Protein backbone atom coordinates (compact mmCIF):
# COMPACT_ATOMS: atom_id res chain seq x y z
CA UNK A 1 0.00 0.00 0.00
CA UNK A 2 1.67 3.23 -1.16
CA UNK A 3 0.74 6.88 -0.73
CA UNK A 4 -1.68 7.92 -3.50
CA UNK A 5 -0.17 10.45 -5.90
CA UNK A 6 -2.88 13.07 -5.33
CA UNK A 7 -2.52 12.85 -1.55
CA UNK A 8 1.24 13.13 -1.83
CA UNK A 9 0.91 16.22 -4.02
CA UNK A 10 -1.34 17.91 -1.47
CA UNK A 11 0.97 17.09 1.39
CA UNK A 12 4.07 18.24 -0.48
CA UNK A 13 2.37 21.54 -1.33
CA UNK A 14 1.55 22.16 2.32
CA UNK A 15 4.60 20.60 3.96
CA UNK A 16 6.95 22.44 6.27
CA UNK A 17 8.68 21.50 9.52
CA UNK A 18 6.62 22.15 12.63
CA UNK A 19 7.41 22.77 16.27
CA UNK A 20 5.86 20.24 18.59
CA UNK A 21 3.17 21.41 20.95
CA UNK A 22 4.28 21.69 24.56
CA UNK A 23 2.66 19.46 27.15
CA UNK A 24 -0.92 20.47 28.04
CA UNK A 25 0.03 21.16 31.65
CA UNK A 26 2.84 23.48 30.59
CA UNK A 27 0.48 25.32 28.26
CA UNK A 28 -2.10 25.63 31.04
CA UNK A 29 0.45 27.78 32.87
CA UNK A 30 -0.09 30.45 30.20
CA UNK A 31 -3.51 30.93 31.76
CA UNK A 32 -1.99 31.81 35.13
CA UNK A 33 -1.38 35.55 34.48
CA UNK A 34 -4.96 35.97 33.30
CA UNK A 35 -6.19 33.92 36.26
CA UNK A 36 -4.34 36.29 38.60
CA UNK A 37 -5.89 39.31 36.85
CA UNK A 38 -9.33 37.69 37.14
CA UNK A 39 -8.65 37.01 40.81
CA UNK A 40 -7.80 40.61 41.72
CA UNK A 41 -9.95 42.49 39.17
CA UNK A 42 -13.25 42.55 41.09
CA UNK A 43 -11.78 43.23 44.54
CA UNK A 44 -9.52 45.94 43.05
CA UNK A 45 -12.33 47.60 41.12
CA UNK A 46 -14.97 47.36 43.84
CA UNK A 47 -14.25 46.09 47.30
CA UNK A 48 -13.12 43.11 49.37
CA UNK A 49 -15.82 41.32 51.38
CA UNK A 50 -15.65 42.74 54.93
CA UNK A 51 -15.84 39.52 56.88
CA UNK A 52 -13.56 39.42 59.85
CA UNK A 53 -14.65 35.88 60.69
CA UNK A 54 -13.42 34.50 57.42
CA UNK A 55 -9.94 35.96 57.69
CA UNK A 56 -7.31 36.09 54.94
CA UNK A 57 -7.39 32.34 54.45
CA UNK A 58 -11.18 32.25 54.15
CA UNK A 59 -11.34 35.13 51.70
CA UNK A 60 -8.14 34.98 49.63
CA UNK A 61 -6.92 31.47 50.44
CA UNK A 62 -10.11 29.72 49.33
CA UNK A 63 -10.34 31.88 46.21
CA UNK A 64 -6.76 31.13 45.25
CA UNK A 65 -7.48 27.43 45.71
CA UNK A 66 -10.60 27.76 43.54
CA UNK A 67 -8.64 29.61 40.88
CA UNK A 68 -5.91 26.95 40.82
CA UNK A 69 -8.51 24.21 40.48
CA UNK A 70 -9.88 26.18 37.52
CA UNK A 71 -6.44 26.31 35.87
CA UNK A 72 -6.06 22.58 36.52
CA UNK A 73 -9.38 21.89 34.77
CA UNK A 74 -8.23 24.03 31.82
CA UNK A 75 -5.07 21.88 31.73
CA UNK A 76 -7.31 18.81 31.57
CA UNK A 77 -9.19 20.44 28.67
CA UNK A 78 -5.92 21.10 26.85
CA UNK A 79 -4.92 17.47 27.30
CA UNK A 80 -8.33 16.40 26.00
CA UNK A 81 -7.65 18.53 22.89
CA UNK A 82 -4.73 16.34 21.84
CA UNK A 83 -5.67 13.32 19.71
CA UNK A 84 -5.14 10.05 21.52
CA UNK A 85 -4.78 11.75 24.91
CA UNK A 86 -8.50 12.01 25.57
CA UNK A 87 -9.84 11.24 29.03
CA UNK A 88 -11.89 8.19 29.94
CA UNK A 89 -15.55 8.64 30.85
CA UNK A 90 -14.79 8.25 34.54
CA UNK A 91 -12.04 10.85 34.34
CA UNK A 92 -14.31 13.28 32.51
CA UNK A 93 -17.00 12.80 35.15
CA UNK A 94 -14.35 13.49 37.78
CA UNK A 95 -13.09 16.62 36.02
CA UNK A 96 -16.64 17.90 35.66
CA UNK A 97 -17.55 17.20 39.25
CA UNK A 98 -14.40 18.57 40.92
CA UNK A 99 -15.28 22.23 40.16
CA UNK A 100 -18.88 21.82 41.26
CA UNK A 101 -17.88 20.06 44.45
CA UNK A 102 -15.24 22.68 45.17
CA UNK A 103 -17.71 25.56 44.71
CA UNK A 104 -20.22 23.85 47.00
CA UNK A 105 -17.54 23.06 49.58
CA UNK A 106 -16.10 26.60 49.56
CA UNK A 107 -19.61 28.03 49.82
CA UNK A 108 -20.47 25.84 52.79
CA UNK A 109 -17.17 26.61 54.55
CA UNK A 110 -17.73 30.36 54.03
CA UNK A 111 -21.32 30.11 55.22
CA UNK A 112 -20.31 28.16 58.33
CA UNK A 113 -17.56 30.61 59.20
CA UNK A 114 -19.49 33.78 58.42
CA UNK A 115 -23.19 33.52 57.57
CA UNK A 116 -24.20 36.68 55.70
CA UNK A 117 -27.73 36.47 54.27
CA UNK A 118 -29.10 38.43 51.38
CA UNK A 119 -32.26 40.02 52.80
CA UNK A 120 -33.35 42.35 49.98
CA UNK A 121 -32.61 42.89 46.31
CA UNK A 122 -32.14 39.19 45.69
CA UNK A 123 -32.57 39.44 41.92
CA UNK A 124 -30.52 42.63 41.60
CA UNK A 125 -27.55 41.34 43.59
CA UNK A 126 -27.86 37.92 41.98
CA UNK A 127 -27.91 39.55 38.54
CA UNK A 128 -24.83 41.66 39.30
CA UNK A 129 -22.88 38.65 40.56
CA UNK A 130 -24.02 36.51 37.63
CA UNK A 131 -23.16 39.14 35.01
CA UNK A 132 -19.88 40.14 36.65
CA UNK A 133 -18.65 36.60 37.09
CA UNK A 134 -19.69 35.58 33.56
CA UNK A 135 -18.10 38.69 32.01
CA UNK A 136 -14.84 38.06 33.86
CA UNK A 137 -14.82 34.49 32.54
CA UNK A 138 -15.02 35.54 28.89
CA UNK A 139 -11.34 36.51 28.41
CA UNK A 140 -10.27 33.32 30.17
CA UNK A 141 -12.56 31.26 27.92
CA UNK A 142 -11.15 33.07 24.88
CA UNK A 143 -7.51 32.45 25.77
CA UNK A 144 -8.18 28.82 26.73
CA UNK A 145 -10.04 28.29 23.46
CA UNK A 146 -7.10 29.68 21.49
CA UNK A 147 -4.75 27.33 23.35
CA UNK A 148 -7.06 24.37 22.74
CA UNK A 149 -7.48 25.24 19.07
CA UNK A 150 -3.70 25.07 18.61
CA UNK A 151 -4.12 21.34 19.24
CA UNK A 152 -6.67 19.20 17.41
CA UNK A 153 -9.67 18.45 19.64
CA UNK A 154 -11.34 15.32 18.34
CA UNK A 155 -14.11 15.69 20.94
CA UNK A 156 -14.65 19.47 20.88
CA UNK A 157 -17.78 19.36 23.04
CA UNK A 158 -15.90 17.78 25.94
CA UNK A 159 -12.76 19.87 25.51
CA UNK A 160 -14.82 23.08 25.24
CA UNK A 161 -16.97 22.21 28.24
CA UNK A 162 -13.92 21.53 30.38
CA UNK A 163 -12.13 24.71 29.41
CA UNK A 164 -15.31 26.76 29.90
CA UNK A 165 -15.81 25.19 33.29
CA UNK A 166 -12.22 25.88 34.31
CA UNK A 167 -12.47 29.46 33.06
CA UNK A 168 -15.74 30.00 34.91
CA UNK A 169 -14.24 28.67 38.11
CA UNK A 170 -11.16 30.86 37.76
CA UNK A 171 -13.25 33.98 37.10
CA UNK A 172 -15.70 33.31 39.91
CA UNK A 173 -12.80 32.92 42.35
CA UNK A 174 -12.18 36.66 41.98
CA UNK A 175 -15.82 37.64 42.06
CA UNK A 176 -16.24 35.63 45.26
CA UNK A 177 -13.71 37.91 47.02
CA UNK A 178 -15.88 40.92 46.21
CA UNK A 179 -19.33 39.38 46.84
CA UNK A 180 -20.42 40.25 50.36
CA UNK A 181 -22.94 37.44 50.72
CA UNK A 182 -22.12 33.91 51.73
CA UNK A 183 -25.69 32.62 51.65
CA UNK A 184 -25.63 29.28 49.76
CA UNK A 185 -28.88 30.05 47.91
CA UNK A 186 -27.25 33.14 46.40
CA UNK A 187 -23.84 31.60 45.64
CA UNK A 188 -25.20 28.33 44.27
CA UNK A 189 -27.64 30.12 42.00
CA UNK A 190 -26.01 33.34 40.72
CA UNK A 191 -22.34 32.34 40.92
CA UNK A 192 -22.81 28.74 39.86
CA UNK A 193 -25.06 29.86 37.00
CA UNK A 194 -22.24 32.08 35.73
CA UNK A 195 -19.89 29.09 35.79
CA UNK A 196 -22.47 27.02 33.92
CA UNK A 197 -22.86 29.81 31.34
CA UNK A 198 -19.11 29.93 30.87
CA UNK A 199 -19.10 26.15 30.40
CA UNK A 200 -21.80 26.44 27.75
CA UNK A 201 -19.96 29.23 25.93
CA UNK A 202 -16.74 27.20 25.96
CA UNK A 203 -18.51 24.13 24.58
CA UNK A 204 -20.33 26.08 21.87
CA UNK A 205 -17.19 27.93 20.81
CA UNK A 206 -15.20 24.70 20.56
CA UNK A 207 -17.87 22.91 18.53
CA UNK A 208 -18.31 25.90 16.23
CA UNK A 209 -14.58 26.23 15.72
CA UNK A 210 -14.27 22.54 14.99
CA UNK A 211 -16.90 22.82 12.24
CA UNK A 212 -15.32 25.95 10.79
CA UNK A 213 -11.94 24.26 10.80
CA UNK A 214 -13.38 21.42 8.74
CA UNK A 215 -14.99 23.81 6.28
CA UNK A 216 -12.01 26.15 5.86
CA UNK A 217 -9.31 23.49 5.75
CA UNK A 218 -6.97 24.61 2.95
CA UNK A 219 -5.96 20.99 2.39
CA UNK A 220 -9.41 20.36 1.04
CA UNK A 221 -8.85 22.74 -1.86
CA UNK A 222 -8.24 20.87 -5.10
CA UNK A 223 -4.64 20.21 -6.03
CA UNK A 224 -3.04 23.05 -7.94
CA UNK A 225 -5.05 25.78 -6.24
CA UNK A 226 -7.45 27.76 -8.32
CA UNK A 227 -9.88 24.91 -8.01
CA UNK A 228 -12.33 24.83 -10.81
CA UNK A 229 -11.10 27.99 -12.47
CA UNK A 230 -9.55 25.85 -15.19
CA UNK A 231 -13.14 25.55 -16.41
CA UNK A 232 -12.68 28.98 -17.95
CA UNK A 233 -10.36 27.64 -20.54
CA UNK A 234 -12.64 24.78 -21.52
CA UNK B 1 6.83 10.82 13.02
CA UNK B 2 9.49 12.83 14.83
CA UNK B 3 11.40 13.09 11.53
CA UNK B 4 8.25 14.08 9.66
CA UNK B 5 7.66 16.82 12.18
CA UNK B 6 11.19 18.11 11.90
CA UNK B 7 11.35 18.38 8.11
CA UNK B 8 11.95 15.02 6.44
CA UNK B 9 8.95 14.55 4.18
CA UNK B 10 10.10 11.10 3.07
CA UNK B 11 9.30 9.84 6.57
CA UNK B 12 5.65 10.01 5.60
CA UNK B 13 6.06 6.88 3.46
CA UNK B 14 7.21 4.94 6.51
CA UNK B 15 4.37 6.32 8.62
CA UNK B 16 1.90 5.44 5.89
CA UNK B 17 3.27 1.92 5.55
CA UNK B 18 3.12 1.33 9.29
CA UNK B 19 -0.37 2.64 10.00
CA UNK B 20 -2.40 2.44 6.78
CA UNK B 21 -3.33 -1.26 7.12
CA UNK B 22 -4.58 -0.77 10.69
CA UNK B 23 -6.45 2.40 9.70
CA UNK B 24 -8.04 0.56 6.82
CA UNK B 25 -9.14 -2.31 9.07
CA UNK B 26 -10.62 0.12 11.57
CA UNK B 27 -12.40 2.30 9.00
CA UNK B 28 -13.64 -0.71 7.08
CA UNK B 29 -15.11 -2.12 10.28
CA UNK B 30 -16.93 1.19 10.78
CA UNK B 31 -18.28 1.92 7.30
CA UNK B 32 -18.28 -1.58 5.70
CA UNK B 33 -17.50 -0.12 2.29
CA UNK B 34 -14.02 -0.59 0.82
CA UNK B 35 -14.13 2.49 -1.43
CA UNK B 36 -15.44 4.65 1.39
CA UNK B 37 -12.77 3.29 3.73
CA UNK B 38 -10.08 4.26 1.22
CA UNK B 39 -11.49 7.79 1.02
CA UNK B 40 -11.55 8.02 4.80
CA UNK B 41 -7.95 6.79 5.03
CA UNK B 42 -6.88 9.61 2.73
CA UNK B 43 -8.85 12.10 4.78
CA UNK B 44 -7.32 10.71 7.97
CA UNK B 45 -3.82 11.04 6.54
CA UNK B 46 -4.57 14.63 5.53
CA UNK B 47 -5.78 15.42 9.02
CA UNK B 48 -2.75 13.66 10.55
CA UNK B 49 -0.56 15.90 8.44
CA UNK B 50 -2.54 18.94 9.54
CA UNK B 51 -2.30 17.96 13.22
CA UNK B 52 1.29 16.67 13.06
CA UNK B 53 2.48 19.25 15.58
CA UNK B 54 0.18 17.72 18.22
CA UNK B 55 1.93 14.36 18.19
CA UNK B 56 4.24 13.76 21.14
CA UNK B 57 6.94 11.19 20.20
CA UNK B 58 7.11 9.97 23.79
CA UNK B 59 3.70 8.37 23.23
CA UNK B 60 2.84 5.60 20.74
CA UNK B 61 1.73 6.71 17.29
CA UNK B 62 -1.23 4.40 16.83
CA UNK B 63 -3.63 5.82 19.48
CA UNK B 64 -2.98 9.31 18.08
CA UNK B 65 -3.69 8.19 14.52
CA UNK B 66 -6.73 6.16 15.58
CA UNK B 67 -8.22 9.12 17.44
CA UNK B 68 -7.94 11.20 14.27
CA UNK B 69 -9.40 8.36 12.18
CA UNK B 70 -12.34 8.06 14.55
CA UNK B 71 -12.88 11.82 14.37
CA UNK B 72 -12.79 11.72 10.55
CA UNK B 73 -15.28 8.84 10.53
CA UNK B 74 -17.66 10.64 12.90
CA UNK B 75 -17.42 13.87 10.90
CA UNK B 76 -18.18 11.98 7.72
CA UNK B 77 -21.16 10.31 9.36
CA UNK B 78 -22.41 13.66 10.59
CA UNK B 79 -22.13 15.12 7.09
CA UNK B 80 -24.00 12.15 5.64
CA UNK B 81 -26.72 12.39 8.26
CA UNK B 82 -27.29 15.99 7.17
CA UNK B 83 -27.40 14.98 3.50
CA UNK B 84 -28.41 11.32 3.57
CA UNK B 85 -28.39 10.92 -0.19
CA UNK B 86 -26.43 12.37 -3.04
CA UNK B 87 -26.49 11.11 -6.59
CA UNK B 88 -23.34 9.54 -7.96
CA UNK B 89 -24.79 8.43 -11.22
CA UNK B 90 -27.30 10.51 -13.08
CA UNK B 91 -28.53 7.46 -14.97
CA UNK B 92 -29.82 5.91 -11.74
CA UNK B 93 -31.99 8.77 -10.60
CA UNK B 94 -35.55 9.77 -11.26
CA UNK B 95 -35.44 13.25 -12.78
CA UNK B 96 -38.33 15.55 -11.91
CA UNK B 97 -38.27 17.25 -15.31
CA UNK B 98 -39.63 20.78 -15.17
CA UNK B 99 -42.04 22.25 -17.67
CA UNK B 100 -39.27 24.32 -19.24
CA UNK B 101 -37.20 21.26 -19.94
CA UNK B 102 -40.19 19.22 -21.00
CA UNK B 103 -40.84 21.68 -23.79
CA UNK B 104 -37.36 21.08 -25.12
CA UNK B 105 -37.16 17.34 -24.98
CA UNK B 106 -38.55 14.20 -23.47
CA UNK B 107 -37.44 13.02 -20.05
CA UNK B 108 -35.06 10.42 -21.47
CA UNK B 109 -33.48 12.98 -23.72
CA UNK B 110 -32.80 15.22 -20.76
CA UNK B 111 -31.37 12.31 -18.86
CA UNK B 112 -29.15 11.34 -21.79
CA UNK B 113 -28.02 14.91 -22.34
CA UNK B 114 -27.28 15.33 -18.65
CA UNK B 115 -25.20 12.19 -18.85
CA UNK B 116 -23.01 13.89 -21.46
CA UNK B 117 -22.38 16.97 -19.37
CA UNK B 118 -18.91 17.02 -17.77
CA UNK B 119 -19.08 15.18 -14.39
CA UNK B 120 -18.21 18.17 -12.17
CA UNK B 121 -20.72 20.40 -13.92
CA UNK B 122 -23.35 17.66 -13.94
CA UNK B 123 -23.06 17.24 -10.17
CA UNK B 124 -23.42 20.98 -9.68
CA UNK B 125 -26.49 21.17 -11.97
CA UNK B 126 -28.19 18.23 -10.25
CA UNK B 127 -27.40 19.37 -6.75
CA UNK B 128 -28.46 22.97 -7.35
CA UNK B 129 -31.33 22.80 -9.84
CA UNK B 130 -32.85 19.45 -8.92
CA UNK B 131 -31.98 18.89 -5.28
CA UNK B 132 -32.04 22.49 -4.17
CA UNK B 133 -28.58 22.62 -2.56
CA UNK B 134 -27.16 26.11 -2.14
CA UNK B 135 -23.91 26.92 -3.91
CA UNK B 136 -22.21 27.12 -0.55
CA UNK B 137 -23.30 23.56 0.27
CA UNK B 138 -22.20 22.31 -3.15
CA UNK B 139 -18.84 24.00 -2.67
CA UNK B 140 -18.40 22.37 0.73
CA UNK B 141 -19.25 18.93 -0.59
CA UNK B 142 -16.93 19.21 -3.59
CA UNK B 143 -14.16 20.97 -1.70
CA UNK B 144 -14.14 23.95 -4.07
CA UNK B 145 -14.81 27.67 -3.82
CA UNK B 146 -18.40 28.91 -3.92
CA UNK B 147 -17.72 30.87 -7.11
CA UNK B 148 -16.36 27.73 -8.73
CA UNK B 149 -19.59 25.90 -7.79
CA UNK B 150 -21.64 28.68 -9.42
CA UNK B 151 -19.43 28.53 -12.48
CA UNK B 152 -19.83 24.75 -12.75
CA UNK B 153 -23.58 25.00 -12.45
CA UNK B 154 -24.02 27.79 -14.99
CA UNK B 155 -21.67 26.14 -17.48
CA UNK B 156 -23.35 22.82 -16.91
CA UNK B 157 -26.74 24.38 -17.67
CA UNK B 158 -25.33 26.06 -20.77
CA UNK B 159 -23.89 22.76 -21.95
CA UNK B 160 -27.17 21.00 -21.20
CA UNK B 161 -29.16 23.56 -23.19
CA UNK B 162 -26.72 23.25 -26.07
CA UNK B 163 -26.99 19.46 -25.99
CA UNK B 164 -30.77 19.56 -25.96
CA UNK B 165 -30.84 22.02 -28.85
CA UNK B 166 -28.29 19.93 -30.68
CA UNK B 167 -25.81 22.78 -30.92
CA UNK B 168 -23.18 21.32 -28.63
CA UNK B 169 -19.81 21.48 -30.34
CA UNK B 170 -20.88 24.34 -32.63
CA UNK B 171 -18.73 27.50 -32.40
CA UNK B 172 -19.98 29.88 -29.71
CA UNK B 173 -20.51 33.58 -29.99
CA UNK B 174 -17.97 35.53 -27.99
CA UNK B 175 -19.72 37.60 -25.34
CA UNK B 176 -18.40 40.92 -24.13
Please, which residues 91-150 of chain B have a Cβ atom closer than 8 Å to chain A?
118, 120-121, 140, 143-145, 148-149
pLDDT of residue A231: 37
B80 touches chain A (CB under 8 A): no
Of A17, A23, A154, the CB nearest to B67: A154
B17 in any annotated domain: yes
Work out the pLDDT band at B113, boundaries 50, 70, 90.
confident
- Residue B114 above 50 pLDDT? yes
B171 in any annotated domain: no
B175 in any annotated domain: no
pLDDT: which is higher, A95 or A7 = A95
Q: How far apart are the C-alpha atoms of B170 and A28, rounded to whole Å?
A: 66
Work out the pLDDT band at B87, boundaries 50, 70, 90.
low
Question: Do A1 and B143 count as a contact with CB atoms less than 8 A apart?
Answer: no
B-chain CB neighbours of A147 within 8 Å are: none
Domain count of the fold of chain B: 2
Q: Residue A150: name the closest of A87, A230, A213, A220 by CA.
A: A213
* Judgement on whether residues B69 and B137 belong to the same structural domain of the protein: no
B159 in any annotated domain: yes
CATH number at residue B22: 1.10.1740.10
Average pLDDT over residues B44-54: 88
pLDDT of residue A48: 73
* Judgement on whether residues B78 and B100 belong to the same structural domain of the protein: no
Q: Are A173 and A70 in contact (CB under 8 A)?
A: yes
Of B82, B100, B125, the last residue of a domain is: B82
pLDDT of residue B167: 60
pLDDT of residue A226: 37
Q: How many helices (H) and strands (E) does chain A have?
A: 10, 0
Please, which residues 51-110 of chain A have a Cβ atom closer than 8 Å to chain B?
82-86
* Judgement on whether residues B72 and B141 belong to the same structural domain of the protein: no
What percent of chain A has a predicted confidence (pLDDT) above 90? 55
- Residue B83 above 80 pLDDT? no
Question: Do B143 and A221 count as a contact with CB atoms less than 8 A apart?
Answer: yes
- Residue A215 above 70 pLDDT? no
Which own/partner pairs from A140-143 qualify as long-range (CB within 8 Å, at least 24 positions apart)?
Answer: A140/A31, A140/A34, A140/A35, A140/A38, A140/A70, A140/A74, A140/A166, A140/A167, A140/A170, A140/A171, A140/A198, A141/A167, A141/A168, A141/A198, A141/A201, A141/A202, A141/A205, A143/A30, A143/A31, A143/A34
* Judgement on whether residues B142 and B76 belong to the same structural domain of the protein: no
Question: Do A3 and B59 count as a contact with CB atoms less than 8 A apart?
Answer: no
pLDDT: which is higher, A207 or B136 = A207
Q: How many helices (H) and strands (E) does chain B have?
A: 9, 0
Query: A68-82, A130-144, B151-165: which has the minimum mean pLDDT?
Result: B151-165
Of B49, B82, B115, the last residue of a domain is: B82
* Judgement on whether residues B103 and B47 belong to the same structural domain of the protein: no
pLDDT tens for B157-173 read: 888 888 887 765 544 54
Distance, in angstroms, between A98 CA and closest chain B CA? 26
What residue of A is the nearest CA neighbor of B136? A215
B-chain CB neighbours of A21 within 8 Å are: 53-54, 56
Average pLDDT over residues B15-42: 85
Query: A149-158, A192-201, B30-39: which has the minimum mean pLDDT?
Result: B30-39
Q: Which of A70-79, A117-126, B32-41, B50-59 has the highest mean pLDDT?
A: A70-79
B53 in any annotated domain: yes
For chain A, the structural domain boundaries read 22-215
Of A20, A154, A229, the CB nearest to B53: A20
B172 in any annotated domain: no
Of B82, B111, B140, the last residue of a domain is: B82
pLDDT of residue B85: 54
pLDDT tens for A21-76 read: 899 999 999 999 999 999 998 888 887 777 667 788 888 899 999 999 999 999 99
Write the DSSP string, A88-113: PHHHHHHHHHHHHHHHHHHHHHHHHH
B18 in any annotated domain: yes
What residue of A is the nearest CA neighbor of B50? A219
Work out the pLDDT band at A232, boundaries 50, 70, 90.
very low
Write out the residue range of the structural domain in which residue B23 sits.
2-82
Amino acid sequence: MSVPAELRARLVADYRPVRRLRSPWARALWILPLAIVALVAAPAAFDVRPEANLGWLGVWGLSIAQSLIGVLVIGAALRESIPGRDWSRAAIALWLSIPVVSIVAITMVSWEASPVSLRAGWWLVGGICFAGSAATALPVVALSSILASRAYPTRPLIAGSLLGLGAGLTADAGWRIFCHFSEPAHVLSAHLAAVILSTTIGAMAAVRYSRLRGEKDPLHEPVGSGGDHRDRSE
Amino acid sequence: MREYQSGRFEAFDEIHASIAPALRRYLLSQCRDAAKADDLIQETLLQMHRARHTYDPSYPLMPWAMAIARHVWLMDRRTLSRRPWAPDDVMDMELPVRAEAASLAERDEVRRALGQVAPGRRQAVIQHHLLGFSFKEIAERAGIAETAAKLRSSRGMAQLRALLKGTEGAPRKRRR
